[in-house]
Amino acid sequence: MSKKELNIFKLLSQKPWEPSQAAIDNQHDGKTLASSKAKLGVRTIMVVSTVIFSLFVVSYSDRMLVHDWKNLSEPWLLWINTAVLIVTSFVFHKVKIFSDQNNFEKAKNSMLLVGFLSFVFITGQLLVWQHYINIGQYVSTNPANAFFYLFTALHGLHLMGGLFFWGRATTKLFRNNYNINKIKQAIELCAIYWHFLLIVWFILFGLMIAT
Amino acid sequence: MSDDYRDNKIETKSADSSSGSYVPSADTIPAQEIPDQELYHAKSFWTKWVFCQDAKVIGVQYALTATAIGFIGLILSWGMRLQLGFPETFSFLGPATYYQSVTMHGMIMVIYLLTALFLGGFGNYLIPLMVGARDMVFPYVNMVSFWMFLVAVLVLIASFFVPGGPTGAGWTLYPPQAILPGTPGSEMGIVLMLVSLSLFVIGFTMGGLNYVITILQSRTRGMTLMRMPLTIWGIFTATVLALLAFPALFVACIMMTLDNLLGTSFFMPEIFTMGEKLDYAGGSPILFQHLFWFFGHPEVYIVALPAFGIVSDLISVHARKNVFGYRMMVWAIVIIGALSFIVWAHHMYVSGMNPWFGFFFATTTLIIAVPTAIKVYNWVLTLWRGNIHLTIPMLFSLGFIVTFVNGGITGLFLGNVIIDVPLSDTYFVVAHFHMVMGIAPLMVVFGAIYHWYPLITGRHLNQTLGKIHFWVTFVGAYAIYFPMHYLGFIGVPRRYFEMYDSPYMTSGVGLNQFITVAALVVGFTQILFLYNIFTSWYKGEKSERNPWKANSLEWHTPDYPPTHGNFGKELPVVYRWPYDFSVPGSDKEYIPQHVSPSEVPAAKAEQT
């Protein structure tokens, strides 16, 4: 039984009319990828987000070549925020390991820590905004500023969307007698998403400090 | 439950073998590895028909909303045609109204009508039924997708009633003019348009998630990807394109909204207006064009690929013949989809690009003609020696092939830089894209509605009205767009509110009046079609089960029309592709997909 058709070229060149292939096809269980639908859903969302952020990066690279571009000097607070985000991702990884080991009591505390750290990160980003506003670096002052506000806002919104699902996963975790597999899946998917947002932030932040 | 089913089937099989008939070894049923989907069972009127999670109802909701907004688009086109055919006759048509009509007509037709109808409407209704699933994989998200679409449509309609009216920037919304005073609707209209588009993209992403994952993961047993109806292949590939292309529109919308509301300069260059320097500086309007067309060109195929798929099925069913070259049709769909991402700059030949850049995009554009031509040949070869029933779906399919070839060939002209430069911004372009992505997909939409209406309602549409609808639409479309090619050749520019007494308009005046009359007639015929749809819903001739004798699963549900959960107690098991018509060796005229090999022992599998 072909569980997973890895190679799209192989798939597209099947000869369904041949009796041998028909015999294989009749055994097909109707699934193309060996992955749960929720996981594929999160992956699809991540692909779409990646396209969105890539197009912003392309626009950034195009716009920064114009002479009116003035680089922003990143405050040290941004480095702290980045560190917070790294720690958040690390803690989330621990949560996933705990839930894999069915150690839900430990997972509960770490899960709450993840939420707390994420709110700290968002607050930190808002403080950076406040800092820029105080020194007169508004969104329309310079294209570099506009991109900075845009990137942080979009990344923050993605994180808040993630926090919505974090909230649902946490509720499941704290409810007694909830389906263990569903808890595990919710935690795993949230963890993947948090790692994804960390990578996105690395790229956006890296782009902004490098230029 | 699935175990019971399995035992029964095995018994049938052994009974067959004892009677001495040939039993192919393939006639076994795989274990159901995917547990049956838990469905949300609606209890009240609200959850059953309004906030509904059943993909079939969502499909109908999408289709009705899209049709409603589409009719507004149609009425706007009348306004444009009245102005072009009989300038200075209608006092309610000023330049601002004209540009607003052009803009809203284009945006409504391309995005809110065609995209929503093909993917949201046909996609939702047909995907679960055709692949043998009970529903979409995320029914709740699917419901939210429709309501996002509805909100997007309402925001779009709201822009008609704000101060300054809707935007008149042209459907491409090019900055800087889209957000500068002087363009109609630069106050609130453009903002609402950008918000509406963003909402549409978010809503579509939720729906698209469902379409892709349902097709990949939720098919019934035996339904391999290469046994899916081409309709599903078309919708699948188009949805993947849409998931990758709509983000570009989204990004462009966000940055333009910021340029407009917060005074950033992503797209806005240094500008003087009324002798005063604006605060903008350094932005790149060309960047917007790249983003817009990186979305805009795949958008053409987001509309065209489902049409390709559906028309293949219609032709096969109504010509009682298997699709010629099924695999090649699939390959063509996938290749067209992939190539559609590297041709976008052929919309920008006159934007002042490097000649080598234009050369590259002209080449890729012409390469797309190869898989597209393969599809056209295969449709014609499917018809060749087929038992062609001139039903209304078949008439529309034939109309599609002719129209698509026509619009495709003018596309080859425009794909070449040196021919595009003089023809750019003339009515030749208008004629080309209306033929290829307006009339051609609409022909398929109409054919598909006549084909699947019995499945949705259990009744046929009125045949006489249908024939009138087809002939007036088909002949009328040519009456409208053939003369436009000529107008383009003599140099009539598009987008102009009025030509006044330009020298080249001498032969164009009468033609423009003729086109306007034809457009009004074709438009009124669509109202006749709408009347047909609504009256046939309760007065139409009752349709027997599977009236077209089709093979795909949607016609073989236990309840007809299909009800909640689609397939009753047991999901069907698939043993063949959906194109087994007049199979050599079989005494049956057609063999539905779920008929096992032992039931049609002598049938030979057809090579494709």
Every domain of chain B and the residues it spans: 52-268+277-593
Least confident of A42-56, B63-77, B407-421, B489-503: B489-503
Give B333's pLDDT tier (boundaries 50, 70, 90): very high
Contact B225 A11 (CB under 8 A): yes
What integer pLDDT is reported at residue B22 of this predicted model? Answer: 40
* B154-163: average pLDDT: 96
B23: pLDDT strictly greater than 50: no
Could you tell me which residue, B422 or A6, shows the higher pLDDT?
Answer: B422
B11: pLDDT strictly greater than 50: no
* A154-180: average pLDDT: 91
Taking residue B10's Cβ as centre, other Cβ atoms within 10 Å add up to: 13
Please state, in angstroms and as integers, the Cα–Cα distance from residue B262 to each residue in A28, A67, B182, following that order.
55, 21, 19
B231: pLDDT strictly greater than 50: yes
Give B453's pLDDT tier (boundaries 50, 70, 90): very high
Q: Which of B37, B27, B337 is nearest to B217 (CA)?
A: B37
CA distance A97 to chain B (A): 27
Give the mutation candidate from B217, B267, B341 for the A interface (greatest A CB count, under 10 A): B217
Q: Which of B278, B273, B280 is nearest to B258 (CA)?
A: B280
What integer pLDDT is reported at residue B374 of this predicted model? Answer: 96
The alpha carbons of chain A give a radius of gyration, in whole angstroms, of 22
Q: Are B205 and A48 in contact (CB under 8 A)?
A: yes
B2: pLDDT strictly greater than 50: no
Give B88's pLDDT tier (boundaries 50, 70, 90): confident
B165: its two tokens: 């009216």
How many Cα atoms occupy the beta-carbon half-sphere of B268 within 13 Å?
Answer: 29
What integer pLDDT is reported at residue A33 of this predicted model? Answer: 86
CA–CA gap between residue B451 and residue B394 (Å, rounded): 9
CA–CA gap between residue B352 and residue B357 (Å, rounded): 10
Domain boundaries, chain A: 1-34, 37-210
What integer pLDDT is reported at residue B500 of this predicted model? Answer: 83
Arch. (CATH architecture) of B52-268+277-593: Up-down Bundle (1.20)
Q: Which chain A residue has its CA at the smallest distance from B260's CA?
A: A140
B307: its two tokens: 């049409």
Give B420's pLDDT tier (boundaries 50, 70, 90): very high
What integer pLDDT is reported at residue B167 of this predicted model? Answer: 95
What integer pLDDT is reported at residue A12 of this predicted model? Answer: 84
What integer pLDDT is reported at residue B12 of this predicted model? Answer: 37
B476: pLDDT strictly greater than 70: yes
| B503 contact partners, CB below 8 Å, separation of at least 6 | none
What integer pLDDT is reported at residue B144 of this predicted model? Answer: 96
Positive/negative CA dihedral, B310, B315, B318, B320: negative
Task: Give the one of B217, B221, B294 whose C-beta lies nearest to A40's C-beta.
Answer: B217
Contact A25 B222 (CB under 8 A): yes
What interface predicted TM-score (ipTM) does this complex get? 0.93
Could you tell me which residue, B507 or B392, shows the higher pLDDT?
Answer: B392
Amino acid (1-letter code) at residue B230: L
Chain B residues with CB-CB distance to A30 below 8 A: 34, 131-132, 217-223
CA distance B531 to chain A (A): 40
Contact B30 A68 (CB under 8 A): no
Amino acid (1-letter code) at residue B163: P
Could you tell me which residue, A22 or A125, shows the higher pLDDT?
Answer: A125
Q: Which of B67, B50, B153, B146 is nearest to B113 (CA)?
A: B67
CA–CA gap between residue B77 and residue B102 (Å, rounded): 7
CA–CA gap between residue B414 and residue B365 (Å, rounded): 10
CA–CA gap between residue B83 and residue B92 (Å, rounded): 10
- Report the DSSP beta bridge partners of residue B493: B426
Least confident of A177-186, B53-62, B386-395: A177-186
B354: pLDDT strictly greater than 70: yes
When the pLDDT of each residue in chain A is averaged and rounded to a whole number, the result is 90
* B57-78: average pLDDT: 96
pLDDT digits (tens, 9 = 90+) for B503-536: 777 788 899 999 999 999 999 999 999 999 999 9
What integer pLDDT is reported at residue B126 of this predicted model? Answer: 96
Q: For a pLDDT cut of 70, what percent of chain B falls above it?
A: 94
Q: For a pLDDT cut of 70, what percent of chain A falls above it?
A: 97
What integer pLDDT is reported at residue B31 of this predicted model? Answer: 58
Chain B residues with CB-CB distance to A181 below 8 A: none
| B360 contact partners, CB below 8 Å, separation of at least 6 | none
Element (H, E) at A40: helix A37-63
CA–CA gap between residue B32 and residue B44 (Å, rounded): 32
What integer pLDDT is reported at residue A153 of this predicted model? Answer: 96
Contact B213 A29 (CB under 8 A): no
B54: pLDDT strictly greater than 50: yes
Class of domain A37-210: mainly alpha
Length of chain A: 211
What integer pLDDT is reported at residue A194 of this predicted model? Answer: 96
CA–CA gap between residue B513 and residue B511 (Å, rounded): 5
pLDDT digits (tens, 9 = 90+) for A71-101: 888 889 999 999 999 999 999 999 999 999 9
B33: pLDDT strictly greater than 60: no
Give B6's pLDDT tier (boundaries 50, 70, 90): very low
HEC-encoded secondary structure of B516-557: HHHHHHHHHHHHHHHHHHHHHHHHCCECCCCCCCCCCHHHHC
* B147-155: average pLDDT: 97
B586: its two tokens: 């079989």
* A179-200: average pLDDT: 93
Element (H, E) at B276: strand B276-277
List the Cα angle A22/A26/A31 in 5-degree steps: 120
CA–CA gap between residue B329 and residue B285 (Å, rounded): 39
Give B29's pLDDT tier (boundaries 50, 70, 90): low
* A123-144: average pLDDT: 93
Give B27's pLDDT tier (boundaries 50, 70, 90): low
What integer pLDDT is reported at residue B32 of this predicted model? Answer: 58
Give A22's pLDDT tier (boundaries 50, 70, 90): confident
* A116-128: average pLDDT: 96
Positive/negative CA dihedral, B197, B200, B202, B204: negative
Contact B212 A44 (CB under 8 A): yes
Place of tokens 């003019």: B177
A32: pLDDT strictly greater than 90: no
What integer pLDDT is reported at residue A2 of this predicted model? Answer: 42
Contact A26 B30 (CB under 8 A): yes
What integer pLDDT is reported at residue A21 of this predicted model? Answer: 87
pTM, full prediction: 0.92
Q: Are B233 and A12 in contact (CB under 8 A)?
A: no
CA–CA gap between residue B348 and residue B345 (Å, rounded): 5
Q: Which of A10, A40, A41, A44 is nearest to B226 (CA)?
A: A10
Amino acid (1-letter code) at residue B431: A
Contact B254 A143 (CB under 8 A): no
pLDDT digits (tens, 9 = 90+) for B232-246: 999 999 999 999 999
Q: Are A2 and A28 in contact (CB under 8 A)?
A: yes
A4: its two tokens: 């997973």
pLDDT digits (tens, 9 = 90+) for B244-262: 999 999 999 999 999 999 9
